[in-house]
Structure 1
Amino acid sequence: MADGFDPTPPPTAWRDPRRPFWPLALLVPGLPFLSWLVWDATGGWWAWWLAPLLVFGAIPVVDLLVGDDHENPPEAAVPRLANDRYYRWLTYLYLPAQYAGLVLGCAVWVRDEPGAVAGAGVALTLGIVNGIAINTAHELGHKRERTERWLAKIALAPTGYGHFQVEHNRGHHVRVATPQDPASARLGESFWAFWPRTVVGSLRSAWRLETARFRLRGRTPWTWRNEVLHAWAMTVLLVALLVAALGPAVLPLLAAQAVVGFSLLEAVNYLEHYGLARQRTGTGRYEKVDPRHSWNSDRTVTNVFLFQLQRHSDHHAHPLRRYQTLRSFDSAPQLPAGYATMILAALVPPLWQRVMDHRVLAHYGGDLSRANVHPPARRRLSGPPAGGTPQPSSPGR
């Protein structure tokens, strides 16, 4: 496989082999309905824990069994592939299913009073669905079409993370893999240290970026044209409608699932750029973003369920490319597993460090000075890494 271009087969004959499987992504917003049906039939509290078990238990196993898919579409086929509205409608359809599941979960919480254990499962289930919806918003929010950008804000409303669209597009993509980026995790930084830094830092960054846009024009940021404010207003409206329909008892569920949802996003942010750094050029500027600055994964199953988010290296190098056209690059550092598996590892810092720290050092030929290092961890990392002696090559597939 050549970097950025797969010369075979001829573009006129090429067909997307995963085309029939992309609708599987819509099973995710269907998880609350699965749990509800099982719960209604059995009355078992465990029914509301099916979503976390399937997402973080079954999918990693199936991912391992199915393996990787490194195939890239030929570049000559990309315009046709990108303009095929079939792929676009799959992202659109996630939203009504997402909202239907949210209403169902809220109704169960208020009217059926599922109890503490089942109730925690309801919050986790809705949080997983709305957290993965942030990925759908990520795909939509990068596009030039106004309708898609608005749909992205709708997908973000249940988690109260509407500012993500501003910070991600105009902040993260500019500062990625630098110490200035709150969404780029540093080598030796645990997820639990990263979480408050990125949650608070991203919110501040989004507000500063948007207010700066207005002040450059001599205008106040306190206007309905402020993208952060009207994204938050959509969350307030959604909460108000649910409270009006179901009562204030729904508020704890909405808060809990929102925290789960945006924490899931930040866990993904944590692993996508962990320890990777862009180097300064002779002018003092950072080098251009390329596939070396994002962790990649070609695990087939998770890529289908996440609209190919795991081909993150190509996304950062070419942010406007649609998910069905994203490519795998030989120069991109590779995660040892798919996102579902790596998120679980990230929650256990000693395990994460053992799995990932030596891979970061290997990516830089053992040169710690080239990585994005968490200052308190520098002394520990200066010794032999937990996973073994660094090798002077990129991690293998």
Structure 2
Amino acid sequence: MTAPTGAESGQVTWRDPKRYLWLIGLVVPLFPFISWGLVTFTGLGAFWWTGIVLLYVIFPVVDHLFGKDSANPPDKALTWLEQDRYYRWCIFLYLPLQYAGLVTGCWLLTHGGLGLPDRLGLTITLGGVAGIGINTAHELGHKKESVERWMSKIALAQTFYGHFFIEHNRGHHVRVATPEDPASARLGESFWRFLPRTVVGSLRNALHLEKARLNRRGRSPWTVHNDVLNAWAMSVVLFAALTVAFGPGILPYLAVQAVFGFCLLEVINYTEHYGLLRARTATGRYERCAPRHSWNSDNVATNVFLYHLQRHSDHHANPTRRYQALRHFEEAPELPTGYAGMIVLAYFPPLWRRTMDHRVLAHYDGDVTRANIQPSKSRAILTRYGKAEQAS
């Protein structure tokens, strides 16, 4: 589609090359249906694990095959891109497909005659949809329109992670790339150490932030106006309705898919700011967040599936900017591959450190003291990389 940019002196035309590619993101909530179809067609129960295979095998390979796209929309086209409601519908449609897949999955788990391995595979596939659904919630939750913010909470209900709506917007975006942020991973910190820190810390911060907001308004935190509690209430209603519809036996599977879903979010969080640190200014405050404080990836395949989440530096510089208008910055550190491949590496700390630690060091021109270092590893890291710096 050729679009006017709104220039007063004439029209500048530009065609968005990804315009219809964003619809590919709607393949993700179809995972349960794809699994069901493949099992029905082939008779092989292994296809209930299709979500895992797609997330951890197919997507990383596709990322490698299709390569990168660092092109930016022209500045004069950004306003038009932001206002084109087509892009919003690409996001909105995720939610009905997400919940259609959840209800269908619950029916298959309880009435499909599946064995335990098959039920577990389907549960993990549902969790993959829910986890990427948190990314959909992330995009919606940053917007100013109330309907999009409520849709964000609906997307989060499947993982019982509604507090993310508060902590991410008002916590992570304030403290990102600092030691105080539970969602910013530190140099030398493994994903398995980061996971409990970020889950507990994000929950604690969300409750504190919402309590403080309500206190300023003279309200008790025990109110329907508490955005953490009303988001959790959506999860309670959802899980209760599914329990009534499919019986209490569905609850363990709902719990497993929820945990897998929010762990998928957190492994992406681990990737996004690993080792990066905002310096303190002369006043003692942290410098303003800049593109250099987020790891970026321009791998086009995962960017399409995740609505440009990997253009993370522009997102932190402009949190309300819509996904289709996010830009690449040369100053932003670049990951060696897309998130799909990086999350696999994150599960294996030696591979992760071999891949990422030298990139953090290079980003800071060999000065490891400028990085966000895991306190328990500080002496070992400073000794190791300090000597390397002196030798160079």
Aligned in 2, Cα 1:107/1:73: closer, same or farther, shift over 3 Å? same
SS of equivalent residue, structure 1 residue 382: helix
Q: Which amino acid aligns with 1:350?
A: P
Q: Which amino acid aligns with 1:308?
A: H
8 Å CA contact 1:131, 1:260 repeated in 2: yes
Aligned counterparts, 1:1-397, within 5 A: 12-384=12-384
Distance 1:262 1:115 in 2: 25
21-30 or 53-62: bigger deviation: 53-62
Render the CA deviation track for 1:299-320: whole Å, top value 9, x for unaligned. 0000000000000000001101
Q: CA RMSD in A?
A: 1.5
SS in 1 for 2:288: coil
Alpha-carbon distance in 2 for matches of 1:116, 1:183: 34
The residue identity in structure 2 corresponding to 1:293 is: H
2: CA distance, partners of 1:53 / 1:32: 13
Contact 1:362/1:390 (CA < 8 Å) preserved in 2? no
Question: Matched residues in 2 for 1:294 and 1:259: separation?
Answer: 26
- 2:113 & 2:309 partners in 1: Cα distance? 36
Q: Name whichever of 209-218 and 290-299 sits farther off.
A: 209-218
The AA in structure 1 aligned to 2:313 is S
Tell me, in whole angstroms, the C-alpha distance in 2 between the residues paired with 1:223 and 1:123: 33
What letter matches 2:218 in structure 1?
A: G
Output the CA distance in 2 between the equivalents of 1:43 and 1:251: 27
Whether contact under 8 Å (1:177, 1:276) holds in the other structure is yes
Report the Cα offset of residue 339 of structure 1: 0.2
* Long gaps (5+) in structure 2: 1-9
State the distance in 2 between where 1:390 and 1:100 align: 55
Deviation at 1:383, TM superposition (A): 4.1
User: How far 1:27 moved relative to its partner?
Assistant: 0.3
**Cα distance between partner residues in 1 of 2:355 and 2:380:** 16
* TM-score calculated relative to the size of structure 2: 0.95
**CA distance in 1 between partners of 2:194 and 2:137 (Å):** 22
On the 8 A contact 1:11/1:76 being kept in 2, the answer is no
CA–CA distance in structure 2, aligned partners of residues 155 and 389 of structure 1: 47
Long gaps (5+) in structure 1: 1-9, 392-397
Partners of 2:98 and 2:351 in 1: how far apart? 33
Q: Does the CA-based 8 Å contact 1:359-1:390 persist in structure 2?
A: no
Contact 1:365–1:390 under 8 Å retained in 2: no
2: CA distance, partners of 1:318 / 1:11: 26
Partner of 2:4: none
Structure 2 residue identity aligned to 1:45 = G
Corresponding residue of 2:3: none
**1:140: Cα distance to partner?**
0.4
Aligned to 1:3: none
Partner Cα separation in structure 2 for residue 20 and residue 157 of structure 1: 28
Q: Which amino acid aligns with 2:269?
A: N
* Paired residue type of 1:310: Q
2:367–2:389: 8 Å Cα contact kept in structure 1? no
Check conservation: 2:59, 2:302, Cα contact below 8 A.
yes
Q: CA 1:274–1:11 in 2, change beyond 3 Å: closer, same or farther?
A: farther
Aligned residues: 380
SS at match of 2:13: coil
SS of 2:20's equivalent? Answer: helix
Identity of aligned residues (%): 60
**Aligned mates of 2:208, 2:154 — CA distance in 1:** 22
Partner amino acid for 1:234? M
Please say which of residues 220-229 and 32-41 is displaced more in the overlay.
32-41
Q: CA deviation at 1:113?
A: 3.8
